[in-house]
Amino acid sequence: MKNAVEFEQMVRVHQPIVLSTAVRMLGNEADAKDISQEVFIRAYERFDTLRGCSTLKAWLRTVTRNLCLNHLSRYRARWCFFSEMAPDENEERAKPQFAVSETTRPKLDEAECRQLLETALGKLPPAQRIPLILYHFEENTYQEITVKLGVSLAKLKMDLHRGRKALRKKLEIDWVPTMECLAPN
Q: What is the CATH number of the domain that holds 147?
A: 1.10.10.10
Number of domains in the chain: 2
CATH number for position 25: 1.10.1740.10
Picking from 76, 109, 128, the residue at the C-terminal end of a domain is: 76
* pLDDT tens profile 119-156: 888 888 888 888 988 888 888 899 999 998 888 999 99
Same domain flag for 57 and 129: no
80 to 91, 146, 159: CA distances (angstroms): 18, 18, 12
Segment 81-108 mean pLDDT: 46
- 81 domain residue, yes or no: no
Of these ranges, 52-56, 83-87, 157-161, the one predicted with the greatest mean pLDDT is: 157-161
**Confidence check: pLDDT of 42 > 70:** yes
Query: Is residue 115, in this structure, part of any structural domain at all?
Result: yes
Rounded Cα–Cα distance for residues 42 and 55 (Å) = 15
Examine residue 88 and state whether it is found in any structural domain, yes or no: no
In this structure, is residue 90 part of a structural domain?
no
pLDDT for 37 equals: 92
Residue 86 lies inside a defined structural domain of this protein:
no
91 occurs within a structural domain: no
Residue 75 has what pLDDT?
Answer: 66
Look up the domain containing 142 and give its range. Answer: 96-182
Shared domain check, 100 and 72: no
- Between CA 131 and CA 146 the distance in angstroms is 9
Residue 142 CA to residue 90 CA, distance in Å, equals 36
Say yes or no: 148 and 100 in one domain.
yes
Looking at residue 143, its pLDDT comes to 92
pLDDT, average across residues 67-90:
61
N-term to C-term CA, the chain: 36
